[in-house]
A and B are shown apart, each in its own frame.
Chain A
Amino acid sequence: MVFENTGEVIQAEGVLKREGCEVRVMGPPPEIQSGCDLVIEFSLIERLNILRTLEKEGVPPLQMVPVTGPLLQPVDIFHIKDFGEYLMVRAANMKLTVEKATGMIVNVSGGGCPDVPYLASAMVGQSLADAPSPRKIGHTLCGYSLQLAYEEARRRCLV
């Protein structure tokens, strides 16, 4: 499924996972890449159910494209750096650093899409528990990478 922008992909993924649909966020096939892109991969057998769910939530896909070859996989490797009082989590090109004692986000680095400085200004100085999630206010692949780093930091720091 191809959407208008990355923000809609992120929103649609959340809706479908909440409904128990088995979907994966992937890279688009080369013939439809335009820039900062994500698509949602799903099983054709679930087509009607998925379409109905997304239309109900107001995020219908622009198009559905059958693919035969493998799609690009988003990065799924995390790098952790321990600075003593601080922990840095990196996912792809995005890094999130947290003060361990307070859970406060002290820095966001890496990335190059325009929502990165926006996300940094919204998240730095907030605690992991209270900070807005990049999934909700981000729009690009860098924002999506930061979401992965944010989830990993929460998993490690908010026990």
Chain B
Amino acid sequence: MLGIAGTIPMEDVPLLTGRLTMADGDILIEGRRIPVNRGTSALIGAAVKTSEVLGTPQPFGYIVGDIGRGVGSRHLYKHLVDTFAEFTFHTFTFHYLQPIVHWHNRLQQVIDGMGKRPVLIADAGFMYVAKMSGHAPMYDLFTPDVGELAFLADEMAPHPFYTRGFILHEENRVPDLIARAYEHNNAARLLLVKGEKDRLADREGILCEVDGPVEGAMEAIGGTGDTLTGIVSALICSGMDMNEAAVVAMKTNRRAGAYSRPTPATQVIDIIRHIPRALEDTLG
């Protein structure tokens, strides 16, 4: 089963744990309805749609409200530290959490002590803290965009906000940035980099690229990286080889975007609706 941990931008939502489904474009968990915006709700929406097509169990969520003060994130970190060792998930994806190094490191110690650990995927704030803490190599997959890749490549930066200017966020420098991230052990075993071209890479370099369909507006649409992470998480959890899952996810996310006929004003829910058709087309 796929586990997903992250926050949603609603201050009054306590920690919710349970199966994730979708109805009428909203996420359902523990009887609560959560609108799909960018962030973890977009990741969940994409993972649920992908699981529906694959016929695999729906993801299991650990979701809490947090509008940036970090209160909900701390609650979620504590719950994960207390319970993660008992988990039997095949794959676990960490997403929007406040980057807090000491909480990450407590969780890392729990995971290190597990006999059999899940496939570990990190994106967004949790990817930031994984890198910041110096433990990036314990993860199986990071899913940065090009700006976040520059942050991974800057061994001095504790957050993308401090990425030094000479490490330019340029698309044509992606191979160099990937090499630099691995050189300083600030990357997961695999990197799936979202950009004008989507790329899968490991320590040896770029393994494959997907460059179509091309929809320039996708860069402006909040949540299109979250959907990519959701799709690849569900594919990996289905048992698909990780490299193959990454390629299928890159193609599916781009196709879903193209099917939505996007403009820079398109919202991510309009792309999520097209994931089933896009995935079916990709899988042939």
* Residues of A bordering B, CB below 8 Å: 5, 7, 27, 33-37, 72-77, 79, 81, 83, 85-86, 88, 90, 92-93, 95, 97, 99, 106-121, 124, 138-145
Q: Which chain A residues border B157 with CB–CB below 8 Å? A: 72
The distance in angstroms between the C-alpha atoms of A5 and B157, with both chains bound, is 19
B233 CB-CB contact with A under 8 Å: no
Inter-chain contact B101/A35, CB cutoff 8 Å: yes
A109 and B38 contacting across the interface, CB-CB below 8 Å: yes
A145 to B127 CA separation, bound complex (whole angstroms): 18
Among the stretches B62-70, B84-92, B107-115, B242-250, the one at the interface with A is B62-70
Question: Are B68 and A118 within 8 A (Cβ)?
Answer: yes
Chain A's closest residue to B170 (CB) is A79
Complex CA gap A73/B9 in Å reads 28
Q: Which 9 A-B pairs have the closest CB atoms?
A: A115-B68, A112-B124, A139-B68, A117-B39, A118-B9, A106-B265, A93-B160, A109-B222, A86-B264
Size category of the B interface is 35 or more
- Whether A27 lies near B158 (C-beta < 8 A) is yes
Measured CA separation A136–B158 after assembly (Å): 24
Instruction: In the complex, identify which listed stretch (B47-55, B144-152, B183-191) lies at the interface while the others stay far away.
Output: B144-152
Most chain A CB within a 10 A radius of its CB, from B9, B102, B224: B9
Which residue of B38, B163, B267 has the most chain A CB atoms within 10 A of its CB atom?
B38
Contacts A88-B219, A107-B265, A109-B38 given; indicate if A35 touches B160 (C-beta within 8 A): no
The listed residue (B7, B129, B159, B264) touching A114 by CB distance below 8 A is B7
**Residue in A closest to B129 when the chains form the complex, CB atoms:** A35
Tell whether, in the assembled complex, residue A145 and residue B39 are in contact, meaning their CB atoms are under 8 Å apart. no
Q: Evaluate whether A145 and B100 lie within 8 angstroms (CB atoms) in the complex, with A83-B264, A97-B220, A109-B38 already known.
A: no
* Cβ-neighbour of B72 out of A76, A114, A142, A143 (below 8 A): A114
* Residue of B with least CB distance to A141: B161
Residues of chain B contacted by A83 (CB below 8 angstroms): 216-217, 220, 263-264
Bound-state CA distance A113–B70 (Å) is 9
Are A93 and B147 in touch, CB under 8 angstroms?
A: yes
Does A117 contact B161, Cβ atoms closer than 8 Å? Answer: no
Report how far A60 CA is from B131 CA in the complex, Å.
Answer: 31
Q: Is A74 in contact with B161, judged by CB distance below 8 angstroms?
A: yes
The minimal Cβ–Cβ distance linking A156 to chain B, given in whole angstroms, is 15
Asked if B219 contacts A113 (CB within 8 A), the reply is no
**Interface contact B98-A35, CB-CB below 8 Å:** yes
Query: Could you say which residues of chain B place their CB within 8 Å of the CB of A7?
Result: 68-69
Interface status of B169 (Cβ within 8 A of chain A): yes
Q: How far is the CA of A35 from the CA of B265 in the complex (A)?
A: 32
